Amino acid sequence: MLMRFEPFSEFDRITEQLKSERRAWQIPVDAYRRDDEFKVLLDLPGTDPGSIELTVDNDVLTVHGTRSWLRFDDDQIVIAERPKGEFSRQLFLAESLDRDKITASYEDGVLAVTIPVIAKAKPRKVKIAHVGGAAKTVAPELAPV
């Protein structure tokens, strides 16, 4: 059996319970760009994949879902620190991302969202034309500031 001794644990538990009922729990997120895709990883351990909704409305990607815990009436709770209930997280999407081709997968408690970068937004090299003749130099005192 799991046991711990903390003199003020009951006060801490009540305080945490009151705080958690008032605010949604924060979903940890990693986001990065790899080649021509933008990746977003959201930690949702213990969440039923069927409860997760992913929506895009204009420039906002929203993840919404529920994590529940099946408790029996005769369970005697010793510690209950894991957040439960509804959660939601919104991310703002840049104009350079293709909202119509977003894909998502859920594996091992991690929701992975892939958003392609629009072709015209991809970095590209610009060729510099060399105009014949000698290179011009500007005297430091005449250089624009």
pLDDT at 118: 87
Domain ranges of the chain: 9-71+78-119
**Region 93-109: what's the mean pLDDT?**
92
Name, in order, each residue with C-beta under 8 angstroms of 110's C-beta and a sequence gap of 6 or more: 41, 42, 43, 44
Long-range contacts of 121-126 (CB under 8 A, 24+ apart): 121/95, 121/96, 121/97, 122/36
Joined together, the tokens standing for residue 61 give: 């990607």
pLDDT at 2: 45
pTM of the model: 0.65
Any idea which of 14-23, 111-120, 128-137 has the lowest mean pLDDT?
A: 14-23
CATH architecture of 9-71+78-119: Sandwich (2.60)
Q: Where are the beta strands (DSSP E) in 4-139?
A: 29-34, 37-43, 53-57, 60-67, 85-92, 103-107, 110-116
Residue 107 pLDDT class (50, 70, 90 cuts): very high
**Which range scores top for mean pLDDT: 20-24, 39-43, 47-51?**
39-43
pLDDT at 21 over 60: no
pLDDT at 38 over 70: yes
- Percent of the chain at pLDDT > 90 equals 32
